[in-house]
């Protein structure tokens, strides 16, 4: 019996089973591919955080402790690969003679490096010129002293003590911020910037320098030094090799615990500067945001696929009841009928699971390439899918099959008699939630939750420093979820009311397709309003998923680019070494570099407002916007163009940061006296400005307090037009090549950065994962769901009503009129679904961008609209509906006698 029934089911209902299996496969493939992306993204974030750290731990030896003993303890700790001592001493200044002139710096930092340091910590020092060993000076120090390899430098140690060394090479210190951190100090106590002058010595040379007596010259057979006279601090720099969890949060907890364990073993003789922990601390919040993106943008797609499956099954609900009633009248017990339904559910679950895994593997390879391959063993790892997420996806598919195929069949067996199951005619009542206005209440609750969760103090992800656990406000999910659910239910209400009470308008709308059958066709649609409404709502949800996902991704890409522009300033930025400005001809030299279209000099000074020292940026207001993006959201009190025009028309105008305006209670037009250094006197001089507006963000400026003023006015009042940064426009192309050419031209006299590398360096670790691939994957599934929700559901629904079409044909309807009836249903579904989807997606996008505000830096002033994708989605949906209607119309031309006999 079971085999006969199954073969008949495959032969007679194979197309319907395949459609249901495809719906399940879409959900399985979406969850499997997105889950794999999430797993690989977390692995990428962890690996990137670990690569960004040159020295994992800096263990500072406390006063009175024995450095050798501390090093031995550290080296013997679990997971430590290398532990080398680095000594620090302060110099009162460096001095060098070059080109007949003597240059002197301010305070400097002197480091002693042991043998093999650069081999163990290759990321700490980057060679620029000269030899890789011996006495090395930092790039900025070389620029300040005008020295090169082979030059002699005097290290002043205070009083009359000094030592002379010979420079072997010039280097860059990429990790200077962490290298010179105050180990054990809270974040607020850290220095604002690393020292300007740094000299690196071999450990033996360092020992001689700090022990130097008056007028000692090193490197020429000098006598053995006396006892040290300069305070020395010792750090043990540590490289770890202990395996860490793949996700940043787990890795951070492991590293933090290991550091605390080491401090406990050291018993006060050493304090750990946890550099790798700091890097993982930042990555774990980004990993939490990646999870939020997965839940906000991926989970709705999986639920929509499940709803699509339910709609496909529901389209044949009446036929299924008739089949059950027939089996029961022929003596088959309900338990046996339930077993047959379970076999059908298992069949579609198996088909959907296999198809979904294969489709998920193909989609992952297409969207992410070979970089998405996991290291997991087994066939799923070979396919490039995360085994854990593949299992979750298959289970979700099985649950979907049980809920959409098996559960309705069992419910009908329990609650419907044979006669009632075959009774197809009756008056449909409105759902209970429509009668009680549940949809309106859900929408109101969504607005309340959104208002509460998006308050000024709202934080979606909170990762307190030094605390292993992350706090995620899952409460924020409630607002978008309620909006999505309430919007769908409200659209159901509108569609039902329109089909019930709007027959006249509906008849006029479909008249071009149905002709004289417009009124009967409208009455038929009103009678069949439940399947039509289901198709409209499902299509609207699919459209809203596609549109909101695309709009969110486009807005994210827009703001990621804005963040890079703010940090780098322009396509390429040239920053002279502090205290050593480039000559006046530098602007022309940079402009002549191939690929450069425009150069904009930007002043950078420091100004005192009261006792507060802040950055001041002098700009040429008429041309600054030609090399960098100035969004209106960066300013308050006027648009970007208006405020730049104010700076040009009134040179003494100034833009002030929001924090400064609040701290000093400024009002538009207020006189603001700032103290800036005068070039000729090298003394602070008072320069009057008038407050004209607020600058919340500005290219190359810090995020807290700064000023933006007219560069010509600043130069006139201070006697100096020195340039702090040259912003270089390359028309958005060839930035790395132009940057490389400028480095060759300028050498060590300036630092050159390009926006391509800045995107990776300053963006959150979310930007290090393949977001472009994620976007392709999500949008491809969104189009598939939208097309399936419109075309497939409509086709299945029309196929289930072939008997109705046959009766209409028997009553005298022509083939053209039958095609018109089918096309009219497709047109109603298309218009209702597209309009409803557009409205829901607009509201959902606004809420998503606000709820996920922590992802955006800076926050968007406007939401980016992906018009090309939205157009393609709309055209695809209309094409799918037209194809489904055309297929059903062709089927309706089958002889009525055959159709009635098969029904």
Per-residue pLDDT tens digits for 481-493: 889 899 999 999 9
pLDDT tens digits along 223-274: 545 545 678 999 999 999 989 998 888 999 999 999 999 999 999 899 999 9
Report the range of poorest mean pLDDT among 374-383, 508-517, 576-585, 703-712: 374-383
Report the range of poorest mean pLDDT among 353-367, 368-382, 554-568, 816-830: 368-382
Residue 133 has pLDDT above 50, yes or no: yes
| Residues in contact with 420: Cβ distance below 8 Å, sequence separation at least 6, in sequence order | none
Backbone angles phi and psi of 174, in degrees to 5: -60, -30
Q: For position 549, what pLDDT does the model report?
A: 81
| Residues in contact with 142: Cβ distance below 8 Å, sequence separation at least 6, in sequence order | 148, 167, 170, 748
Q: For position 212, what pLDDT does the model report?
A: 66
Q: For position 221, what pLDDT does the model report?
A: 45
| Residue with the larger pLDDT of the pair 529 and 72 | 72
* Cα angle 155-157-163, degrees, rounded to a multiple of 5: 40
Q: How confident is the model at residue 313 (pLDDT cuts 50, 70, 90)?
A: confident
Of the segments 38-42, 190-194, 227-231, 379-383, which one has the largest average pLDDT value?
38-42
Q: For position 373, what pLDDT does the model report?
A: 47
CA 578 from centre of chain? 34
- Rounded mean pLDDT, 638-666: 91
- Rounded mean pLDDT, 137-150: 85
Q: For position 227, what pLDDT does the model report?
A: 46
Q: For position 103, what pLDDT does the model report?
A: 84
What per-residue string of b and e applies to 439-450 under the rule 16 or more CB within 10 Å gives b? beebbeebeebb
Sign of CA dihedral 363, 364, 365, 369: positive
Question: DSSP per residue over 779-800, as a string?
Answer: HHHHHHHHHIIIIIHHHHHHHH
pLDDT tens digits along 860-879: 777 888 888 888 888 888 88
Is residue 780 a contact partner of residue 867, using CB atoms and an 8 Å limit?
A: no
What per-residue string of b and e applies to 689-724 under the rule 16 or more CB within 10 Å gives b? bebbbbbbbbbbbeeebbbbbbbbbbeebbebbbbb
Q: Report the half-sphere exposure of 200 (CA within 13 A, side-chain side).
A: 28
Q: How confident is the model at residue 74 (pLDDT cuts 50, 70, 90)?
A: very high
In three-state secondary structure terms, 182 is coil
Sign of CA dihedral 492, 496, 502, 505: positive
Q: For position 166, what pLDDT does the model report?
A: 94
Residue 672 has pLDDT above 60, yes or no: yes
Q: For position 375, what pLDDT does the model report?
A: 45
Q: For position 55, what pLDDT does the model report?
A: 94
Q: Distance between CA 326 and CA 578 in Å, rounded? A: 90
- Rounded mean pLDDT, 288-305: 75
Q: How confident is the model at residue 154 (pLDDT cuts 50, 70, 90)?
A: very high
Q: How confident is the model at residue 751 (pLDDT cuts 50, 70, 90)?
A: confident
Report the range of poorest mean pLDDT among 186-190, 606-610, 734-738: 186-190
Residue 81 has pLDDT above 90, yes or no: yes
Q: Please state whether beta strands 161-172 and 135-138 pair in parallel, antiparallel, or not at all (unpaired).
A: parallel
Q: For position 158, what pLDDT does the model report?
A: 81
Q: How confident is the model at residue 5 (pLDDT cuts 50, 70, 90)?
A: low
For residue 18 the two structure tokens come to: 């395949």
Backbone angles phi and psi of 52, in degrees to 5: -75, -10
**Average pLDDT of the residues of the chain:** 81
Residue 26: which of 543, 407, 393 has the closest Cα? 393
Please tell me the total number of residues recorded for the chain in this structure: 903
Q: For position 85, what pLDDT does the model report?
A: 95
Q: How confident is the model at residue 747 (pLDDT cuts 50, 70, 90)?
A: confident
- Rounded mean pLDDT, 843-847: 85
Q: Distance between CA 180 and CA 339 in Å, rounded? A: 72
Is residue 576 a contact partner of residue 750, using CB atoms and an 8 Å limit?
A: yes
In three-state secondary structure terms, 827 is helix
Of the segments 107-111, 455-459, 467-471, 559-563, which one has the largest average pLDDT value?
107-111
Q: For position 428, what pLDDT does the model report?
A: 58
- Rounded mean pLDDT, 693-701: 90
Q: Distance between CA 174 and CA 179 in Å, rounded? A: 9
Q: For position 224, what pLDDT does the model report?
A: 47
Q: Distance between CA 572 and CA 15 in Å, rounded? A: 58
pLDDT tens digits along 572-620: 999 887 667 788 888 888 999 999 999 999 999 888 888 788 889 999 9
What's the Rg (C-alpha) of the chain? 36
Residue 65 has pLDDT above 50, yes or no: yes
Measuring CA to CA, how many Å separate 103 from each of 154, 284, 622, 667? 10, 46, 38, 45
Determine what percent of the chain is predicted with pLDDT higher than 70: 81
Report the range of poorest mean pLDDT among 321-325, 740-744, 898-902: 898-902
Question: DSSP per residue over 392-450, as a string?
Answer: HHHHHHHHHHIIIIIHHHHHHHHH--HHHHT----PPPPPHHHHHTHHHHHHHHHHHHH
pLDDT tens digits along 392-417: 999 998 998 888 888 877 777 776 65
Residue 187 has pLDDT above 50, yes or no: no
Q: For position 803, what pLDDT does the model report?
A: 61
């Amino acid at each position: 019996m079971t085999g006969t029934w199954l073969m008949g089911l495959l032969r007679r209902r194979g197309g319907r089973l395949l459609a249901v299996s495809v719906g399940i496969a879409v959900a399985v493939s979406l969850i499997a591919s997105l889950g794999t992306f999430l797993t690989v993204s977390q692995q990428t974030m962890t690996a990137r955080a670990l690569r960004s750290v040159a020295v994992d731990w800096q263990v500072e030896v406390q006063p009175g402790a024995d450095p050798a003993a501390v090093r031995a303890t550290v080296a013997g700790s679990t997971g430590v690969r290398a532990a080398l001592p680095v000594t620090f001493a302060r110099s009162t200044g460096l001095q060098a003679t070059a080109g007949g002139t003597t240059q002197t710096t301010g305070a400097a930092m002197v480091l002693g490096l042991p043998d093999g340091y650069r081999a163990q910590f290759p990321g700490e020092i980057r060679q620029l010129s000269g030899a890789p060993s011996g006495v090395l000076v930092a790039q900025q120090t070389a620029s300040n002293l005008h020295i090169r390899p082979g030059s002699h430098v005097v290290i002043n140690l205070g009083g009359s003590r000094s030592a002379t060394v010979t420079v072997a090479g010039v280097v860059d210190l990429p990790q200077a911020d962490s290298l010179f951190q105050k180990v054990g100090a809270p974040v607020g106590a850290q220095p604002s910037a690393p020292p300007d002058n740094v000299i690196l010595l071999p450990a033996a040379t360092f020992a001689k320098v700090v022990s130097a007596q008056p007028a000692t010259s090193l490197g020429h057979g000098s006598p053995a030094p006396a006892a040290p006279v300069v305070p020395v601090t010792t750090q043990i720099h540590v490289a770890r090799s202990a395996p860490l969890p793949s996700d940043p949060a787990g890795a951070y907890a492991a590293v933090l615990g290991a550091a605390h364990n080491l401090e406990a073993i050291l018993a006060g003789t050493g304090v750990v500067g946890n550099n790798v922990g700091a890097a993982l601390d930042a990555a774990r919040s980004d990993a939490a945001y990646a999870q939020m993106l997965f839940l906000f943008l991926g989970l709705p797609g999986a639920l929509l696929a499940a709803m699509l499956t339910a709609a496909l099954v529901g389209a044949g609900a009446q036929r299924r009841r008739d089949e059950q009633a027939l089996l029961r009248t022929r003596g088959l017990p309900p338990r046996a009928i339930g077993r047959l339904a379970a076999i059908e559910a298992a069949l579609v679950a198996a088909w959907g699971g296999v198809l979904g895994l294969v489709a998920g593997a193909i989609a992952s390879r297409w969207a992410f390439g070979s970089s998405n391959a996991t290291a997991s063993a087994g066939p799923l790892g070979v396919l490039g899918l995360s085994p854990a997420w593949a299992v979750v996806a298959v289970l979700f598919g099985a649950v979907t099959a049980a809920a959409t195929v098996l559960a309705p069949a069992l419910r009908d067996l329990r609650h419907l008699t044979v006669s009632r199951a075959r009774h197809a005619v009756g008056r449909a009542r409105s759902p209970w939630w429509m009668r009680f206005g549940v949809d309106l209440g859900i929408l109101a609750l969504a607005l309340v939750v959104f208002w509460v969760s998006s308050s000024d103090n709202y934080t979606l992800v909170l990762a307190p420093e030094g605390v292993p656990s992350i706090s995620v406000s899952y409460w924020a999910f409630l607002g978008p979820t309620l909006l999505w659910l309430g919007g769908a239910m409200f659209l159901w209400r509108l569609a039902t009311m329109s089909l019930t009470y709007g027959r006249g308008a509906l008849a006029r709308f479909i008249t071009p397709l149905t002709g004289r059958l417009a009124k009967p066709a409208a009455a038929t649609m009103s009678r069949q309003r439940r399947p039509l409404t289901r198709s409209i709502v499902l299509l609207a949800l699919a459209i809203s998923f596609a549109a909101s996902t695309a709009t969110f991704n486009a807005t994210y890409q827009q703001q990621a680019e804005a963040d890079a522009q703010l940090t780098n300033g322009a396509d390429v930025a040239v920053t002279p070494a502090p205290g050593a400005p480039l000559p006046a001809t530098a602007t022309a030299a940079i402009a002549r570099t191939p690929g450069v279209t425009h150069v904009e000099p930007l002043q950078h000074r420091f100004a005192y407002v009261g006792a507060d020292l802040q950055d001041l940026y002098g700009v040429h207001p008429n041309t600054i916007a030609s090399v960098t993006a100035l969004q209106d959201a960066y300013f308050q009190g006027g648009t970007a163009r208006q405020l730049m025009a104010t700076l040009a028309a009134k040179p003494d105008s100034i833009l002030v940061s929001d924090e400064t305006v609040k701290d000093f209670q400024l009002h538009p037009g207020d006189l603001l006296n700032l103290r800036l250094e005068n070039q000729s006197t090298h003394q602070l001089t008072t320069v009057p400005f008038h407050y004209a507006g607020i600058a919340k963000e500005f290219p190359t400026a810090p995020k807290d307090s700064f000023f933006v003023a007219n560069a010509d006015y600043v130069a006139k009042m201070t006697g100096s037009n020195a340039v702090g940064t040259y912003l270089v426009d390359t028309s958005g192309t060839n930035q790395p090549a132009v940057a490389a050419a400028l480095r060759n031209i300028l050498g060590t006299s300036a630092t050159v950065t390009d926006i391509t590398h800045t995107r990776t360096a300053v963006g959150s670790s979310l930007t290090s994962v393949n977001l472009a691939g994620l976007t392709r994957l999500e949008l491809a599934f969104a189009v598939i769901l939208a097309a399936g929700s419109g075309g497939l559901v409509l086709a299945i629904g029309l196929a289930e009503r072939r008997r109705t079409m046959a009766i209409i044909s028997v009553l005298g309807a022509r083939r053209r009129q039958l095609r018109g009836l089918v096309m009219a249903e497709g047109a109603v579904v298309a218009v209702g679904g597209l309009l409803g989807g557009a409205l829901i997606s607009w509201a959902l996008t606004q809420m998503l961008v606000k709820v996920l505000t922590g992802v955006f830096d800076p926050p968007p002033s406007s939401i980016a609209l992906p018009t090309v994708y939205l157009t393609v989605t709309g055209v695809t949906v209309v094409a799918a509906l037209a194809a489904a209607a055309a297929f059903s119309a062709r089927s309706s031309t089958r002889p009525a006698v055959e159709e009635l006999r098969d029904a």
